[in-house]
Amino acid sequence: MNDADLPARWRLRDALNFALTNRVPRAALTRFAGWFSRIEQPLVRDVSIALWRLFGDVDLSEAKKRHFTSLHDCFVRELRDGARPVDADPLTLVSPCDGIVVACGRIDGDTLLQAKGLHYTLEELLGDGALAAQFRDGCFATVRITASMYHRFHAPHDCRVSHVTYFPGDTWNVNPPALARVDKLYCRNERAAITTALADGTPVLLVPVAAILVASLRLHCLDLLLHAGYRGPHRLACDATLHKGDEMGWFQHGSTIIVLAPSTLALHPLTVIGRRIRTGEALMRLPGG
């Protein structure tokens, strides 16, 4: 739905949301949020977490621990064992994260949907024509992690991670008002392309995209933090073997993950725009599924 389809009061609300979260010094606010969230002073910590829970509808009942040293520690919380059962069907590719499916479907040649009326290409997103060609006419799902959700992400299937490509960039918000207004938003924002292969060699790509207040990414397969101050190298080799559901890393606060798969895979019937999905739930189907 674009602005013309919305009632006047909704258009005003979305315009105000966009202005307040984007027409601001995004980089400076993001650096400040990163610093502030790590303050371990008890009063600052307690007030920050209380306000976040009040306005963000945060559920901490599934957290592995009850006491947090800082707001950041709470943001990147682990969940207790068994909180996210993983679909055991070997022909199912599962969601790597909790979130809302904001776009999904077949890739039209090399073109993907961002929001109604707005598109971007694989090569613009990945910066690599050869890599983009592997997913031409494939399928994709874009899962947005809101600020109140669980912020860690996991392997969608048994796979091997061969390398990670980091792209410095902007920190536009990734909520619906911004997606409807900023052309090629995902290609502008800071992001990483995590290249994986299933046991049979099928490529699956995860693209975590940063946003305002969320400009750093921790991956277990790399011994470093990818963030706005990182100067390179931007293509990082690694060799990590993961089982379906294994933790891959986390966003510092939350954002979006785009999952790309080749044309041999298809979306799971329940994967539709607007679906609230949880880590480990079916997202795509492998051939024969």
179: left (phi over 0), alpha (psi -120 to 50) or beta: alpha
Beta bridge partners of 6: none
Q: Is 255 a catalytic residue?
A: yes
| Active site annotation includes 154 | yes
CB count within 10 Å of CB 200 equals: 8
Rounded to 5°, the CA angle 162-168-171 comes to 120
- Which of 37, 70, 95, 255 is an active site residue? 255
Of the candidates 14, 48, 95, 154, the residue annotated as catalytic is 154
Q: Known catalytic residue: 61? A: no
Q: Which of 98, 170, 216, 253 is catalytic?
A: 98
> Can you spell out the DSSP letters for 39-98?
---HHHHHHHHHHHHHHHT---TTBS-S--SSHHHHHTPPBPTTSS-----TTEEEPSSS
**Residue 91: phi, psi to the nearest 5?**
-95, 10
Two tokens, residue 171 = 């920190």
Q: Give the angle subtended at the CA of 176 by the CAs of 125 and 29, to the nearest 5°.
A: 80
147: left (phi over 0), alpha (psi -120 to 50) or beta: alpha
What is the full DSSP assignment across 204-228?
A: EEEEEE-BTTB-EEEETTSSSEEET
Of the candidates 218, 227, 246, 234, the one whose C-alpha atom is nearest the C-alpha of residue 163 is: 234
Q: Which residues are catalytic?
A: 98, 154, 255
